[in-house]
Amino acid sequence: MRKQPMDSQVTVQPRTTERGSRSGTSEPRRSESGSAALLHPQELESLLLNIDASLRVHSRHQLFGWTQGMLQSLIKHELLVCAVRGARPTAYQVDCFASPWIDPEKVGDVFRRDTAFVTHLATQWTESEFHPVVFAAGGAEPLARGPFAAELQRLGMEGVLAHGTYDALGKPVSLFVLATMPGDFDREQAFPLELIAPFLHLAWMRSQLGGPLEESGTTAQSVDPLTAREKEI
């Protein structure tokens, strides 16, 4: 009996959110046939350029230049918070990169202190099978409450995208939170974020080789503040 050839088509399982809700996990892009959809030509070009740029990052100022420069063409954002899990599950080492008008040290400090937000975000991301989490900074969902959400609202942020990396045991290793201004929020950017996140993680880790973040107490300390030149960019 001849064996029938296996169907090589890859199908993406739906990721649904409650109707009318502006938060939850991102919905997948689907082609007309229902299979995994391709990036648009401009998005694909931007993704490849950003992957190449990420491989050239070996220091913090290079990471700043990439995330606040070329990465903007793929995922528009005003604020990027990077968090890597420390020795304890509730302890995260935090770094922040932002537009010149935002104080990254203050935002990073608020993020570190809002342990309820970080814990809830990690839990929701894990329960969503590690798909990007999307929510509105001023929404009614739990992620939109607390000191960090209040700080985002104070800065005028509207949309928030979050994704990360995990280990072989399914435990979060790193989390990346990107916040956007009104008019820049686009749920479709969750897909490019899902693709670039592994490269963002590796670039951030390489930038720490010369001076890793160090923990102190129950929370981690941020790295040295941005230089005056970085704040001018």
Per-residue pLDDT at 9? 35
* Phi and psi at residue 208, to the nearest 5°: -90, -10
Q: Which residue ranges make up each domain of the chain?
A: 40-232
* Phi and psi at residue 120, to the nearest 5°: -65, -40
| 72-127 residue pLDDT tens | 999 999 999 999 987 776 678 999 999 999 999 999 999 999 999 999 999 999 99
Direct distance between the N- and C-terminal alpha carbons of the chain, in angstroms, rounded to an integer: 67
Per-residue pLDDT at 54? 97
**Quick check: 205 pLDDT over 80?**
yes
Fold exhibited by the domain 40-232: Beta-Lactamase (3.30.450)
| 9-40 residue pLDDT tens | 333 333 434 433 345 655 555 444 445 667 88
For 106, the enclosing helix (H) or strand (E) is helix 104-113
Q: Is residue 137 within 8 Å of residue 179, measured between CB atoms? A: yes
How far apart, in whole angstroms, are the C-alpha atoms of residue 152 and residue 133?
Answer: 16
Which residue has better confidence, 100 or 220? Answer: 100
List, in order, residues 6 or more apart from 197 with CB less than 8 Å away: 163, 164, 165, 176
| 155-173 residue pLDDT tens | 999 889 999 999 999 889 9
How far apart, in whole angstroms, are the C-alpha atoms of residue 223 and residue 211?
Answer: 8
Identity of the residue numbered 111: F
In the chain, DSSP finds a helix count (H) and a strand count (E) of 7, 8
